[in-house]
Structure 1
Amino acid sequence: MSATLTASRRATLHRRVRWIVGTTITYNVLEGIIALWAGAAASSAALIGFGLDSAIEVLSAAAVAWQFTRKDPERWERPTVRAIGIAFFALAAYVTIDAILALSGVEPVEHSPVGIGIAVASLIVMPALAWIEFRTGRELGSRSVQADAKQLLLCVYLSGTVLIGLLLNSLFGWMWADSVAALVVAALAVREGIEAWRGDVESPFEVLSELGEHR
């Protein structure tokens, strides 16, 4: 599809990519600061892990931002996709270690309204950014942009597990729930990391994308 793009359309899409990654970096810096503060206040390993995950999101977006400041972005596709794959593996490793430590019952987790709020905000913001970025990357034929969109989608999964864990802890005192769900997210991160490393970026939005194109 990218071969049929006019120079004007390609330039527009490049600007859109820069806007998306700029927005992603800004949001994740704020999200990370709030999540780390709330996690420390509530002694929540899941929230602290969520905050550190934001740093990986920033690195992934920064890799794409760097690529699209180059004169010929397409030339840097492979190393950028590999960098995103490494970010997936790093996230999986951290989430796994964090979940195991939390399951060991280190210390009780306090109720965290701020943590619940930031997890809900991420469930609203991240799917929208991922959708726009994937569509843009597909039109450009850019695997790195599509891989970064999948990184954002993984953040949605992590936000959901953190939210479920915080709610179950607040309502029923089940401190282990978010750790178990986080291990599922870690497995997903490994799978996505392998796919990104291989350059396989099939979209989790594929059906919705095709419906949108036929309107």
Structure 2
Amino acid sequence: MAGKNDRDANLKRGIRVETASLIYNVLEVVVSVTAGLLTGSAALVSWGLDSTVEATSAGTLIWRLRGEAKGGDRRKVLHRKKVALAVVACAFWIVVAAILYEAVSAFLSQEAPGFNWWGISILFVSLVVNPFLAWGKYRYGKRLESPALKYDAKDTMICQYQTVVVLIGIGLTQWQGWWWADPVAALLIVPYVAWEGIEATKDAWSVDPDDAEAAA
């Protein structure tokens, strides 16, 4: 009984962490994509698009965790686990395509992006917020033995890396006049997103809802 109570408590805490992540990432998307489109920054738009992965992951994981918290049987839990991993994987690949499009468009136009304080501000705020979100996701992902939660934690730390790269790219563009630094910063994001997409895809395929003995 104690084990079940501990798991129930961890499920509730995991849901709270993902809810906070969902709210914050929606804010990231709105601010960064708007600022990126207004200034023509491929790196800022790409960073914002990657935040859609985190928002999608958070929403899907809330659904997956609530399903277990409500007492669903093993098969339903596995089904939600498979769907959660599949949605995360698809979101990764959509972002890869979007980033490549934005970066190639920037290379073709060869225009330096403008400057926007809203875009810079959300980047700096994320440098502080993301480590806390990643820690919470990984902690409860480990306690619940949930690979989807752990992938979400990894994506949040990837976003932290991306934040640093985008800030450097924008800084070089604004202060050195290197128009190509912005799309290059966007392209540096692609390998990390693609790798996590591959891993999430593999895990999604490995889950069989009909295997009632598999780990939930």
Per the normalisation by structure 2, the TM-score is 0.83
Per the alignment, residue 203 of structure 1 pairs with none
Q: Which amino acid aligns with 2:3?
A: T
Matches within 5 A, 1:58-207: 58-70=55-67, 71-72=71-72, 74-75=77-78, 76-199=80-203
Q: CA deviation at 1:13?
A: 0.8
Match of 1:33 among 15, 30, 33: 30
Q: Which moved more, 1:17-26 or 1:41-50?
A: 41-50
Measured in 2, the distance between the counterparts of 1:105 and 1:177 equals 13
Alignment deviations for residues 32-51 of structure 1 (CA, whole Å, 9 cap, x no partner): 11112322332222222323
Q: CA deviation at 1:106?
A: 4.9
Measured in 2, the distance between the counterparts of 1:52 and 1:193 equals 15
Structure 2 gap ranges (5+)? 205-216
Measured in 1, the distance between the counterparts of 2:46 and 2:25 equals 13
Q: Is 2:10 the partner of 1:6?
A: no
Q: CA deviation at 1:77?
A: 1.8
Which structure ranks higher in relative contact order (CA pairs < 8 Å, sequence separation ≥ 6)?
A: 2
SS in 2 for 1:174: coil
Q: CA RMSD in A?
A: 2.1
Give percent identity, aligned residues only. 33
Structure 1 gap ranges (5+)? 201-215
Task: After the TM superposition, list the runs of 4 or more consecutive aligned residues in structure 1 that deviate by more than 6 angstroms.
Answer: none
- Contact kept in structure 1, 2:43 and 2:185, CA below 8 Å: no
> Matched residue pairs, number?
197
Alignment deviations for residues 4-41 of structure 1 (CA, whole Å, 9 cap, x no partner): 97111111110111111111111111111111232233
